[in-house]
Amino acid sequence: MRCTPRLYLVRVEVPARIQLVEVAARDGLQAEDRTLPTETKLELLGRLADAGHTIIEATSFVNPKAVPQLADAEGLMRQLRRRAGVRYPVLVPNEKGLERALSVGVDEVAVFASASESYSRKNLNRSREEALAGYAPVVRRAKDARARVRGYLSMVIADPWDGPTPPETVRDCAKRLLDMGCDELSLGDTSGVGTPHQVVFLLDVLAAAGIPVAKIAMHFHDTYGQALANAHAAMARGVRMFDTSTGGIGGSPFAKMAGGNLATEDLLWSCRGGGIETGVDLDHVVAMSRWLAGELGHELPAHVSRVLGDGAQ
């Protein structure tokens, strides 16, 4: 008996526009062996703004011994020429980091917690509970200073040491960060093991708990080549904000097995094909990615820049 193939047409809802949060200058550079001079970082920030980015994570006020690449945080922010309409959030690990940031005029900060116990101890030297409790006064002080606060929550799918992260744990941590005053929450698949099905399930758990999808951003790593698919799965569940990194650079110094961040140009290429607006110019990002590869001394993992940078269209 001959089988006749069937064609199934599936209608996929796509957003008209999404917001990118460019993280190459902080999350991207922190994983690089070559330390860039402040002048080069300032040029990178300028090129990112030229490309059309309106939210650019600039640096981190962590202990310079922990992340030497970002030891110039104060000098960088003092020299940065802010563009009208562009936000420059910075990461702060504690109240001391917040004070350093506020002293140089920062008006938007981020705090970083982990949904897993092991990564919290490896990355923050504190238990998950200690880290979350410690951020309450940081967020309160930042809000008193009229600063906008972003909360990062890492290892939301699985932890290399602890295994799968229970969605209920993510839900509870997310609610605590939002309840203490975070304006938005970036959920990170830090080890890059997540799949679209897991992303959708997690977002459904959060939605059922009353966590507004409008306050959620997604932060994907491409360890298993799933970052772009995961981003589109999140879009289908209403997420409209995504952290990306030019060239796909990035990762945690404390989770060496993780791949790079979702590449800005890879998501831009996909959005171009789907008619999704971002306000960021793809050609500019590709040129910047090639320039950044030269500054870092190695090819970057982004797919689109490797193709378009060689002249293919």
Mean pLDDT, residues 218-233 taken together: 97
Q: What does the pLDDT read at residue 312? A: 43
- We report the CATH number of the domain holding residue 261 as 3.20.20.70
Q: What percent of the chain has pLDDT over 90?
A: 87
pLDDT over threshold 90, residue 257:
no
Mean pLDDT computed over every residue of the chain: 93
Q: What is the pLDDT of residue 66?
A: 87
Residue 3 included in any domain: no
**φ/ψ of residue 244, rounded to 5:** -140, 160
The pLDDT tens digits for 201-216 are: 999 999 999 999 999 9
Closest CA relative to residue 195, chosen from 239, 157, 163, 251: 157
Q: Is residue 7 part of a domain?
A: no
Q: Which residue has the tokens 């699985």?
A: 158
114, part of any domain? yes
Answer whether residue 110 is part of any domain. yes
Confidence of residue 37 (pLDDT cuts 50, 70, 90): very high
Q: How many CA atoms lie within 13 A of 305 on its CB side?
A: 27
DSSP strand pairing (148-154 vs 108-114): parallel
Residue 54 lies in a domain: yes
| pLDDT at 2 (0 to 100) | 52
Instruction: Provide the pLDDT for residue 1.
Output: 46
pLDDT above 70 coverage of the chain, percent: 92
Neighbours of 296 (CB within 10 A): 18
Is the torsion defined by CA of 229, 234, 19, 35 positive or negative?
negative
Average pLDDT of the segment spanning 83-110 = 97
* pLDDT of 143 strictly over 50: yes
Domain count, the chain: 1
Instruction: Report the pLDDT value the prediction gives residue 11, as an integer from 0 to 100.
Output: 54
pLDDT of 4 strictly over 90: no
The range of the structural domain enclosing residue 29 comes to 19-308
Query: Distances in Å between the alpha carbon of 308 and those of 36, 239, 264, 286, 302?
Result: 25, 28, 14, 7, 11
Query: In terms of Cα–Cα distance, which of 99, 239, 97 is closest to 112?
Result: 97
What is the token pair recorded at 88? 């420059």
Report pLDDT for 122: 87
Between CA 32 and CA 35 the distance in angstroms is: 7
Average pLDDT score over residue span 94-101: 97
Residue 78 in this model has a pLDDT that exceeds 80: yes
CB 293 within 8 A of CB 249: no
What does the block give as tokens for 207? Answer: 């939605």
- DSSP character at residue 262: P
Question: Residue 274: how many CB atoms within 10 A of its CB?
Answer: 12
Instruction: With respect to residue 223, please indicate whether it lies within any of the assigned structural domains.
Output: yes
Tokens 């796909």 appear where? 248
Query: Do the domain assignments include residue 12?
Result: no
Instruction: Kindly report, residue by residue over 145-196, the tens digit of the pLDDT.
Output: 999 999 999 999 999 999 999 999 999 999 999 999 999 999 999 999 999 9
Backbone angles phi, psi at 62, to 5 degrees: -80, 170
Q: Which residues pair with 20 in a beta bridge?
A: 242
- Confirm whether 13 is domain-assigned: no
Task: Output the pLDDT for position 60.
Answer: 97
